[in-house]
Amino acid sequence: MTYTRTIGRGFTLNDSDTMAYLTLVTSTLMYFVYNIQMNVYPERYESNKLDSYANIIGFISSVCYIFGTLRDINCCWFLPLAGQYDVATGRILVETKDVP
Protein backbone atom coordinates (compact mmCIF):
# COMPACT_ATOMS: atom_id res chain seq x y z
CA MET A 1 0.00 0.00 0.00
CA THR A 2 2.99 2.33 -0.01
CA TYR A 3 3.09 2.80 -3.77
CA THR A 4 0.61 2.29 -6.57
CA ARG A 5 1.30 -0.77 -8.70
CA THR A 6 0.43 -0.63 -12.36
CA ILE A 7 -0.22 -3.48 -14.77
CA GLY A 8 2.92 -5.46 -15.44
CA ARG A 9 4.88 -3.99 -12.55
CA GLY A 10 5.73 -5.48 -9.19
CA PHE A 11 8.13 -8.30 -8.49
CA THR A 12 9.81 -8.26 -11.89
CA LEU A 13 13.41 -7.78 -12.91
CA ASN A 14 12.56 -4.14 -13.72
CA ASP A 15 12.03 -3.47 -10.02
CA SER A 16 15.23 -2.41 -8.26
CA ASP A 17 14.15 -4.13 -5.02
CA THR A 18 13.88 -7.49 -6.76
CA MET A 19 17.28 -7.07 -8.38
CA ALA A 20 18.73 -6.14 -5.00
CA TYR A 21 17.23 -9.26 -3.37
CA LEU A 22 18.56 -11.52 -6.11
CA THR A 23 22.07 -10.09 -6.09
CA LEU A 24 22.22 -10.15 -2.29
CA VAL A 25 21.22 -13.82 -2.16
CA THR A 26 23.66 -14.62 -4.97
CA SER A 27 26.61 -12.96 -3.25
CA THR A 28 25.71 -14.63 0.05
CA LEU A 29 25.71 -18.06 -1.60
CA MET A 30 29.03 -17.26 -3.25
CA TYR A 31 30.55 -16.34 0.13
CA PHE A 32 29.19 -19.59 1.58
CA VAL A 33 30.76 -21.67 -1.22
CA TYR A 34 34.01 -19.74 -0.86
CA ASN A 35 34.11 -20.47 2.87
CA ILE A 36 33.59 -24.18 2.24
CA GLN A 37 36.32 -24.19 -0.42
CA MET A 38 38.79 -22.49 1.92
CA ASN A 39 38.06 -25.00 4.69
CA VAL A 40 38.50 -27.98 2.38
CA TYR A 41 41.40 -26.67 0.22
CA PRO A 42 43.32 -24.01 2.20
CA GLU A 43 46.27 -24.21 -0.22
CA ARG A 44 44.13 -22.59 -2.95
CA TYR A 45 43.71 -19.36 -0.98
CA GLU A 46 45.86 -17.22 -3.29
CA SER A 47 44.31 -18.43 -6.55
CA ASN A 48 40.63 -18.43 -5.53
CA LYS A 49 38.83 -15.33 -6.85
CA LEU A 50 35.31 -16.25 -5.76
CA ASP A 51 35.32 -13.75 -2.91
CA SER A 52 36.26 -10.94 -5.32
CA TYR A 53 33.33 -11.79 -7.56
CA ALA A 54 31.02 -11.92 -4.54
CA ASN A 55 32.26 -8.47 -3.51
CA ILE A 56 31.40 -7.08 -6.95
CA ILE A 57 27.92 -8.60 -6.88
CA GLY A 58 27.44 -7.25 -3.34
CA PHE A 59 28.33 -3.77 -4.60
CA ILE A 60 25.76 -4.10 -7.38
CA SER A 61 23.22 -5.11 -4.75
CA SER A 62 23.94 -2.01 -2.68
CA VAL A 63 23.57 0.22 -5.75
CA CYS A 64 20.17 -1.38 -6.45
CA TYR A 65 19.11 -0.72 -2.86
CA ILE A 66 20.19 2.92 -3.19
CA PHE A 67 18.15 3.33 -6.40
CA GLY A 68 15.15 1.71 -4.71
CA THR A 69 15.42 4.07 -1.75
CA LEU A 70 15.73 7.11 -3.99
CA ARG A 71 12.65 5.92 -5.88
CA ASP A 72 10.66 5.44 -2.69
CA ILE A 73 11.43 8.91 -1.34
CA ASN A 74 10.53 10.42 -4.74
CA CYS A 75 13.97 11.78 -5.64
CA CYS A 76 13.48 10.65 -9.24
CA TRP A 77 10.38 12.77 -9.87
CA PHE A 78 11.66 13.83 -13.28
CA LEU A 79 11.64 10.28 -14.70
CA PRO A 80 8.55 9.21 -16.66
CA LEU A 81 7.75 6.15 -14.51
CA ALA A 82 8.68 7.69 -11.15
CA GLY A 83 5.16 8.77 -10.29
CA GLN A 84 3.85 5.24 -9.92
CA TYR A 85 6.07 4.72 -6.87
CA ASP A 86 4.94 7.86 -5.06
CA VAL A 87 3.63 7.33 -1.55
CA ALA A 88 -0.13 7.27 -1.90
CA THR A 89 -1.20 8.41 1.54
CA GLY A 90 -4.28 10.37 0.47
CA ARG A 91 -5.22 8.28 -2.55
CA ILE A 92 -5.89 4.91 -0.94
CA LEU A 93 -9.28 4.45 0.59
CA VAL A 94 -9.48 1.63 3.11
CA GLU A 95 -12.99 0.64 4.09
CA THR A 96 -13.15 0.19 7.85
CA LYS A 97 -15.98 -1.27 9.83
CA ASP A 98 -16.86 -0.57 13.42
CA VAL A 99 -16.33 -3.63 15.57
CA PRO A 100 -18.86 -3.97 18.40
Q: What is the pLDDT of residue 1?
A: 44
Alpha-carbon gap, residue 51 to 1, rounded angstroms: 38
Three-state DSSP at 49 gives: coil
Cβ-Cβ contacts under 8 Å for 27 (sequence gap 6 or more) = 54, 55, 57, 58, 61
Q: What is the pLDDT of residues 25-75, one digit of tens each?
A: 999 999 999 999 999 988 888 888 999 999 999 999 999 888 878 777 777
> Which residues have CB under 8 Å from 54's CB, separation 6+?
27, 30, 31, 34
